Structure 1
Amino acid sequence: MLNPKTHSADYPDSYYAATREYSCDYPKLSEAKDTQVCVIGGGLSGVNTALELSERGYKVVLLEAFKIGWGASGRNGGQLIRGIGHGTAQFANSIGVDGVNALDHMGLEAVDIVRDRVKKYNIQCDLKMGYSDLAHKPRHMRELETEKEWLDSVNYSHETRLLKQHEMHEVVGSSNYIGGLIDMGSGHVHPLNLTLGEANAAQAQGVEIYEQSKVVNIEYRERPVVKTENGQVTADKLVICGNAYVAGINDELEARVLPAGSYVIATEPLPESVWRRVLPKDMAVCDLRVALDYYRLSADKRLLFGGLCNYSGRDPKSIVGTLKPHMDDVFPYLKDVKIEYQWGGMIGIGANRMPQVGRLHPNVYYAQAYSGHGVNATHLCAKVIAEHISGETRRMEIFEKIHHMRFPGGRRFRSPMLAAGMIFHRLKDLF
């Protein structure tokens, strides 16, 4: 019987956990450490912040409550897509036109950081370039046309192409879409292997990594003191990368991010004749609806199909039972294909869908709320924080000028409010 194990202390029973390329048995913190930078969180944000800083010569200690890549970093759909937020133009009043342009270009840079890191450290994570947005309605096509015009205007260095309805068979074997936009500068990846490979690289650079070392208290002093159940770390600077799992670490950060459930199913390996019909170019794809579907092929040609963003705080009774009908709607000819894995977890959602990067104090940094676009955005935000700590750039100050609303009330009240908002936007999308 399948067991998603979405909230246990070990990895969920996912396709990613079953196909790990890297061992990760880091010790538990059991003593007092003194370092230059302490990083809380062993996901993509924390691991890459530690790696960026260690490459710059900093002494870093990283603390993870469970396992490296345990949260969304090791459970997501593996989509590596340009961009770091939703609708950057909305922030022009606070960051100016130059700030908006900087964010847009950082969204392109974010993918390059991942590609360069995989190449530099020879990380085995099934990185494959090629992605397509999928349009259900004319409004979606107008959005894609505008996006294509912008990419052309900034001399985007990768191939892009708009697809009309009769051309969609080149990308996806479904009649559900009226068009799309191919982007060969985006792609897909095995996210858990990416995270674990980067953690190995960080450790090789001198980062001390500790698992099963949940933070129980932080003393915000001139040199912050981070306490775990069996040890503590005193550091010159602290970086908090808890994201959807920041609860209990800092009340201010928790109030700005809402954990939302996201889920994925994986089929049995598909015969070549079938997978070439499903995704002929082996691209990652994603539709443009609010209640979106996203899917791709794994290295061994399983269909990984995700969606079902859930704000209730409760997992569905059956992930397969809830997601499989969506997959069958897109690919009716896969109705009898066996589902071999199902899993889920929490992603961090912010009210304005822009990653939150900044400082709680001059020596306490944070990054969170990637709203489903974390594979690339985490890498960019980690680089921005490391640059600021080392005095290289002031790009982080662009992020700090963006206002992030606190969700009113405790989580008990925030989830129903956001769920109601989601229903409104789904109805708006439908009609």
Structure 2
Amino acid sequence: MDLLTVNDRAGQYPASYYAAHATPLPPFAAPEGALQCDVCVVGGGFMGLSTALELAQRGYDVVLLEAQRVGFGASGRNGGQVGQGQRLDQDDLEDLVGKDHARQLWQIANQSVDLVRERAKSPLVEADFNDGIIHADHRERYVPHSRSYVEKLNDQYGYDKIRFLDRDEMRHMVNSPAYHGGTLDMGAGHIDPLQYALGLARMCQAAGVRIYEGARVQRIDYGTPAKVHLAGATVTADYVVMGMNGYLGDLDTEVARHVMPINNYIVATAPMTPDQQEALLRHNHAVADSKFVVNYFRFSPDHRLLFGGTESYRYRFPSDIAAKVRKPLAEIYPQLKDVQIDYAWGGTLGITMNRMPHITRLSGNVLSLSGFSGHGVAMASLAGQIAAEAIAGQAERFDVMAKVPNMRFPGGPRLRTPLLIAAMLWYSLRDKL
């Protein structure tokens, strides 16, 4: 089944709140004939756009190929949260790779947030960076860990932008009976993801990147140079960078063994008043909770609650996305059980077994960076910078990320979906216990 078209129309953004309120870009032409460049980037999301931008600013001749529209995939549909740290917390990373390597990963994660915050200042990026993410514990037994984790980051990592929230302060900040405590991280934040992606595309244009849309890659011939084949066009390049994330399909079987697509869903309510917004979620922070299938939410500039929750592992989106998301929304905010929902949409992201990015060299001049597992606004942005550094001969950060162990999904591309469904059903049940 074709993930690029099974839930969406060719050349069109989904009917999301973001697409309805974005400042659009005119469509880019499809490629024709034989093209040549220094670097061909496949994928027009955060990772691909960031890679192309960084390389063009270094003087490389860059072609970027996007099968649909720039920002069409998860980059333009997600919750917009720009979280600190990696997708795994530092305790888990220290167990996985040791303290020294974990500290390097923490530094890289901090740099990813700084990069998004800095890029948001560009006049070409018409999206504000808003400070603050609340991590909300949906089980009382998780609260002691939140307190100790704050102390760990304060004392061992020198990170003083995060603080602990007890039950009373959590209820004051997030007017929901569902949470028992948590943390507030003012070093993290949130942004309109599609506006950010379109802004990166404008920055790429200004830097001289040749962007093509409707440019679906059929195969890549590895070699020196590499050759990228499309319908009606070929691109010959010294380097190729792959950044398709959940939309990889069968373009590379080795990446597909490590990165798997899943679907996630978001709704946008009718606009509220500023006072109604403040009564639900104070100070325009974003929230992500402790469930394995995370609930995440924030407010839009026009005071709509943007609420994401629930996942599915079949290729097709449900017929009534709004009804599917309304259930967790009502569990978190019972007072909104009948709220009007104006927009409901889904998207496909790429996850890995351990939820850490899959960063690898497929050959000496072909790089793949994907599997950001819901943490892509920050990490996919920085991954593009890291890919550009590696091509320019500075591979230190690339190697730090690439050395993180990343297991293959059991069962291979054919059996991984039913196995994942069984595992996710178990974790979903655990969330309720």
TM over 0.5: yes
Q: Residues 362-373 of structure 1: matches in 2 within 5 Å?
A: 362-373=364-375
Q: Say whether residues 1:194 and 2:196 are aligned partners.
A: yes
Aligned residue identity for 2:263: G
- Aligned equivalents of 1:117 and 1:282: distance in 2? 20
Aligned residue identity for 2:54: E
Which deviations, in whole Å up to 9, do the C-alpha atoms of 1:245-296 show, x marking residues without a partner?
A: 1113211111211110100000010122321111121110011111221110
Residue number among 395, 417, 420 corresponding to 2:419 in the alignment: 417
Specify the alignment match of 1:258 in structure 2. 260
TM-score by length of 1: 0.94
Q: Say whether residues 1:68 and 2:70 are aligned partners.
A: yes
Q: Which runs of 5+ in 1 are unaligned?
A: none
Aligned residues of 1:126 and 1:299 also touching (Cα < 8 A)? no
1:200 aligned counterpart, secondary structure? helix
1:327 aligned counterpart, secondary structure? helix
Specify the alignment match of 2:87 in structure 1. 85
Q: Say whether residues 1:302 and 2:307 are aligned partners.
A: no
Residues 369-378 or 117-126, more deviating: 117-126
Shift of 1:91: 5.5
Shift of 1:126: 3.1
Specify the alignment match of 2:7 in structure 1. 6
- Aligned equivalents of 1:175 and 1:429: distance in 2? 16
Aligned residues of 1:6 and 1:343 also touching (Cα < 8 A)? no
Which deviations, in whole Å up to 9, do the C-alpha atoms of 1:358-399 show, x marking residues without a partner?
A: 200010101111111111010121121111111234121122
How many residues in Structure 1 have an aligned counterpart in Structure 2? 427
Shift of 1:425: 2.3
1:252 aligned counterpart, secondary structure? helix
Residues 210-219 or 17-26, more deviating: 17-26
Aligned residue identity for 2:7: T
2:88 aligned counterpart, secondary structure? coil
1:244 aligned counterpart, secondary structure? helix
Which deviations, in whole Å up to 9, do the C-alpha atoms of 1:151-172 show, x marking residues without a partner?
A: 21222253x2211111123321
Residues 214-223 or 161-170, more deviating: 161-170
TM-score by length of 2: 0.94
Aligned residues of 2:68 and 2:215 also touching (Cα < 8 A)? yes
Specify the alignment match of 1:161 in structure 2. 163
Specify the alignment match of 2:218 in structure 1. 216
Q: Residues 34-113 of structure 1: matches in 2 within 5 Å?
A: 34-87=36-89, 90=92, 95-113=97-115
1:144 aligned counterpart, secondary structure? helix
Specify the alignment match of 1:230 in structure 2. 232
Aligned residues of 1:7 and 1:345 also touching (Cα < 8 A)? no
Residue number among 394, 400, 403 corresponding to 2:402 in the alignment: 400
Aligned residues of 1:246 and 1:254 also touching (Cα < 8 A)? yes
- Aligned equivalents of 1:132 and 1:96: distance in 2? 27
Q: Which runs of 5+ in 2 are unaligned?
A: none
1:395 aligned counterpart, secondary structure? helix
- Aligned equivalents of 1:384 and 1:136: distance in 2? 35
Which deviations, in whole Å up to 9, do the C-alpha atoms of 1:328-383 show, x marking residues without a partner?
A: 22222223321000000111010111001120001010111111111101012112
Residues 84-93 or 168-177, more deviating: 84-93
Question: Measured at CA, do residues 333 and 87 of structure 1 come closer, stay the same or move farther in structure 2, by a change above 3 Å?
Answer: closer
1:119 aligned counterpart, secondary structure? coil
Aligned residues of 2:410 and 2:419 also touching (Cα < 8 A)? no
- Aligned equivalents of 1:380 and 1:144: distance in 2? 27
Q: Quote the sequence identity (%).
A: 39
Aligned residues of 2:124 and 2:202 also touching (Cα < 8 A)? no
- Aligned equivalents of 1:212 and 1:88: distance in 2? 40
Specify the alignment match of 1:268 in structure 2. 270
- Aligned equivalents of 1:113 and 1:27: distance in 2? 29
Aligned residues of 2:6 and 2:316 also touching (Cα < 8 A)? no
